[in-house]
Amino acid sequence: MSTSSTPTHLVEVEHLAKSFGDHVVLEDVSFTVDSGTVTCVIGPSGSGKTTLLRSLNALEIPDRGVVRIGGTVVDFGGINPGPGGRLPKAQRAELMGLRRHSGMVFQAHHLFPHKTALQNVIEGPVVVQGESVADATARAREILDQVGLSAHADKYPFQLSGGQQQRVGIARALALRPDLVLFDEPTSALDPELVGDVLGVMKDLAAQGWTMVVVTHELRFAQQVADQVLFIDGGLVVEQGPPQDVIANPQHPRTKTFLTRLL
Ligand code: ADP
């Protein structure tokens, strides 16, 4: 089912549920994201943070629940892969409609090794969105400048540090002009000395008004940048609110235990 409604929040997630076999990963997750805000998702390893994030752009197909982004609504209860996991064409189109709203930054960059930074960034706009190479290139140079890589536009991934490669990954997500950017532990695969650069770029993006949902273990980043923090455990949002509540003054015993282990 794909319908439109009058949006109040940019993103509305209602009663999302996802199991792998009999392992319930998301039991019943609901939250909203306002335009221009940063939401950090924290929680123990294996608590379903990545599954939740991937559900927002239909890389994962929840068993139940509704995701609305902008004017696109997908009721996952009506999305039923057939034998072999193939979806009927109309359902695939629905998921693509949802996916168009977001850009994704993965834990490990998935750059094309045989393309330069610039070529990696224009790939999506040119191939997926049909933009002209000239227009996409001009815009990609601006975006690479924004993430501090203008001097490296013509380098190949192997010539870049892990942090620089991850910044190309961010530029690639931004180049699609998404309504929101999804970050899946974007610094967890980096050497510690490279983490700060990437978090710095993400802070800049937040300050520019990008809507961001960030799965992260970086509590300091969450404290400084997040408008809301979701603490996920046992398939549920156990606690949510501004970081000064959830991180600095948690109420739920599970949040307290998690934070004590992390700090
Ligand atoms: P987190 O991001 O909080 O560490 P994940 O969302 O990656 O958690 O995973 C939650 C649980 O779901 C884990 O136990 C993981 O092993 C399981 N899981 C994730 N993806 C799959 C999959 N495709 N098939 C089976 N189990 C999965």
What number does the ligand 1 atom closest to the CA of 21 have? 25
Residue corresponding to tokens 């949006």: 7
Give me ligand 1 centre to Cα 240, in Å. Answer: 21
CB neighbour burial string for 36-50, b if at least 16 within 10 angstroms, e if fewer: ebbbbbbbbeebbbb
What number does the ligand 1 atom closest to the CA of 54 have? 6
Q: Would you tell me how many other CB atoms lie within 10 Å of the CB of residue 241?
A: 16
What number does the ligand 1 atom closest to the CA of 44 have? 3
Q: Report the chain's terminal Cα–Cα distance, integer Å.
A: 44
The H or E element that residue 93 is part of is helix 89-99
Output the pTM of the full model: 0.94
Is any atom of ligand 1 closer than 6 Å to the C-beta of 186? no
pLDDT digits (tens, 9 = 90+) for 5-39: 555 799 999 999 999 999 999 999 999 999 999 99
Calpha distance 242→232 (Å, rounded): 14
Q: Percentage of the chain surpassing pLDDT 90?
A: 86
The whole-number pLDDT of residue 19 equals 95
pLDDT digits (tens, 9 = 90+) for 141-177: 999 999 999 999 999 999 999 999 999 999 999 999 9
pLDDT digits (tens, 9 = 90+) for 78-129: 888 777 778 888 889 999 999 999 999 998 778 999 999 999 999 999 998 8
Give me ligand 1 centre to Cα 162, in Å. Answer: 25
Per DSSP bridges, beta strands 64-69 and 228-233 are: unpaired
Q: Would you tell me how many other CB atoms lie within 10 Å of the CB of residue 21?
A: 5
Nearest CA to ligand 1 atom 15: 46
ipTM of this complex: 0.97
